[in-house]
Amino acid sequence: MNGIIPLYKPRGVTSFDCIAKLRHILQTKKVGHSGTLDPSVDGVLPICIGPATKVVPYLMASGKVYRGTVTLGFATTTEDLDGEVVDRQALTAPFSAADLQAAAATMTGTIQQTPPMYSAVKVHGRKLYEYARAGETVERPTRTVTVHDFALQGAGTFDATAGTQTVDFEISCSKGTYVRTLAVDLGRHLGVPAVMASLTRLKSGGFTLDQTVTLDQVAVAKDQGTLDQVLRPIDYALRDYPQVALTERVWKLVKNGVWLTPDEVADHTEPVLALRFNDETKCLYQWSEQKHAYKPLKMFTVN
């Protein structure tokens, strides 16, 4: 078994739960995902099976797209609705769509972000949520992320009784971005507490929501012997790299880790190439300006 399953993760289960169930269904231990989703978040969760686990870093490197809602007027310990309310400031009037979008615009581009205490980021060998659950505090490292687009859908809905305003949004961002924190920071820019009310991952690893399959569909495919219909080849994770078909002579060199000259890869000089033989991506090679040649970067199979 070798390939990528664009899994739909439902709300109420962890990403690890999904992996555990797939290991049971497929009867294999070699299963890895490309970026966790919180239990309260649903959507696209690409899962790599067998040798395809080698492409996990390349799936994770691709951008992600989310759709969700942010509620202004209160904040929680976890930055989503799973936590306890720690701050409340009733709104007396709604923010305009222009005010909301102007605040969101300040959080686009390359920004510094501090991960929430309730996250799996490790500090001194412990996950942040372990500190949080123990009532401990620790200095959190900032990280550089890129928010390509943070689009708010109008002014949303204002609840005068609750003193809250709920707005839909769509975000396109790099790996490692905490959308919960973006929702909280949106409120901070507006001068009010905020919380992420819901979130769905629409795209990850190049897969979109309409391409996903459920755990039940994977189980049925396994029973019916049609797993090939839900497994995508590793090529899918590497399709953004220039593809080079190798001759049998050059493939023998590649199998032995030999550096390649530009003429051996059809005179390419791009930073990274995906080398193919017999209609299958075998490896990635990286350009060395110093040597003026391509060197092995990642081998996926030598068969």
Tell me the catalytic residues.
38
Residue whose C-alpha is closest to residue 173's, from 187, 163, 183, 164: 183
Task: Quickly list H helices, the chain.
Answer: 15-26, 56-61, 97-105, 128-133, 179-190, 215-224, 248-255
* Range list of β-strands (E), 114-222: 122-123, 126-127, 143-152, 157-159, 164-173, 194-204, 207-208
β-strand 42-49 against 3-9: which pairing, if any? antiparallel
- 167 Cβ neighbours under 8 A, 6+ residues apart: 69, 70, 72, 100, 152, 153, 154, 155, 156, 157
- Cβ neighbours around 223 below 10 Å, total: 10
Contact (Cβ atoms closer than 8 angstroms) between residue 301 and residue 270: no
β-strand 42-49 against 194-204: which pairing, if any? parallel
Q: Tokens 């859908």 — which residue?
A: 153
